[in-house]
Each structure stands twice: as C-alpha cells, then as structure tokens.
Amino acid sequence: VELAGRRGQTAARIALTWGLQEPAVATAIVGPTRADQLEDLAQGVTLKLDDDEVRYLTELYRPKREVMI
C-alpha cells in the first residue's frame, strides 16, 4: 500500500505488476468480481517497477508452502 501510494497506483496494480516481474512467482491469479476491478488490474499489466521497488516488495514476500493435490 505504501509503494502504491507513492506511485499513485492501486495496491492491486502494484501486486500484479510485482507478480508479473518476479521470477519466483509462477503465475498471477486474480479474481475481480466487478468490471471496474478488472479494468484496474488491466492497467497494472503495463506498469514496470524499478529494481529498488522489486527488491522492497520481494523482502516483504513470504512464500507459502507448496501443496500438491
């Protein structure tokens, strides 16, 4: 949320952008329930985070344990 505020973006856009740029993230799963949420996320596809921003977000990320079904 802090980075989103500094960038003038929504937290959802920043999260999607980070996920698309982060090699440790295999896929970005989104679940908009309204058209405006989907439009917001679509704008995040064109964003780019700089190396410092990626590093900052990566430090906050705590991966979940894989669960095989």
Predicted TM-score of the model (pTM): 0.77
Q: Give me the tens of pLDDT residue by residue for the chain, a chain 69 residues long.
A: 899 999 999 999 999 999 888 887 788 888 899 999 999 999 888 899 999 999 998 888 777 777 777
Round the CA-based radius of gyration of the chain to a whole number and report it.
Answer: 13
Residue 68 — left, alpha, or beta (φ > 0 → left; ψ -120 to 50 → alpha)?
beta
